Amino acid sequence: MSPICPPSALIIQEQSSSATSADSLMESALRHLNAPISRGGKLLGIWKELDAVVSECSVAGWDGYDAKPISTAAINEARILLKSMPDTIMPPEIAPEPSGDIGFQWRNAANQILVVGIDGSSLLNFAANLGGGFTNYGTERHSGNLPRHLQKVLLDFFQKDTP
């Protein structure tokens, strides 16, 4: 009579193989979630946050008053700008504007702040309070890339913390 492999041994082997596959899948998913914005992923949360703002603010009066729906042009422009941002900066907070625009806001530990208004016209209105009495504001035109001036402010003041 030949020995029979107990079913529990087969299950353990299958679970071990599945666990290895699950670990590999988890590692792959984590790499994808931490990929840079410019490659479509850096903290998938920023894309989900933008989608949530768009969903919540897509009808007139979304603020309980007379707010306009977020415009398609502003949404498209916000997506283009997110993709063009340097990999090393903090992701912005996303704020809907009652005018139908989208605002990106960065605030760092030193309480320095940059706000960029996106209206879909290829003109970005911005204001920054960078401490020490230094303020910066204006309008920059963009053509699918983050304007150099804004990129410099982001790189100089709003880098991600590194572990």
- Could you report the per-residue pLDDT of 16-42, keeping only the tens digit for each? 455 566 666 656 655 544 444 444 445
Residue 14 lies in a domain: no
Residue 25 lies in a domain: no
Q: Could you tell me what percent of the chain has a pLDDT over 90?
A: 59
What is the pLDDT averaged over residues 109-125? 95
Which amino acid, residue 134?
Answer: F
Residue 1 lies in a domain: no
The Cα–Cα gap between 82 and 102 comes to 12
Indicate if the pLDDT at residue 114 is higher than 60: yes
pLDDT for 63: 94
Residues 70 and 58: beta-carbon distance below 8 Å:
yes
Domain enclosing residue 146, as ranges: 35-157
The Cα–Cα gap between 100 and 160 comes to 29
Residue 162 lies in a domain: no
Residue 68 lies in a domain: yes
What is the number of structural domains in the chain? 1
101, containing H or E segment = none
Please, which pLDDT band fits residue 105 given cuts at 50, 70 and 90?
A: very high
Looking at the DSSP bridge assignments, the partners of residue 115 are 105, 127
94, containing H or E segment = strand 93-96
Residue 53 lies in a domain: yes
Residue 152 lies in a domain: yes
Would you say the pTM of this structure is higher than 0.75?
A: no
Residue 20 lies in a domain: no
Dihedral sign for Cα atoms in the order 78, 80, 84, 86: positive
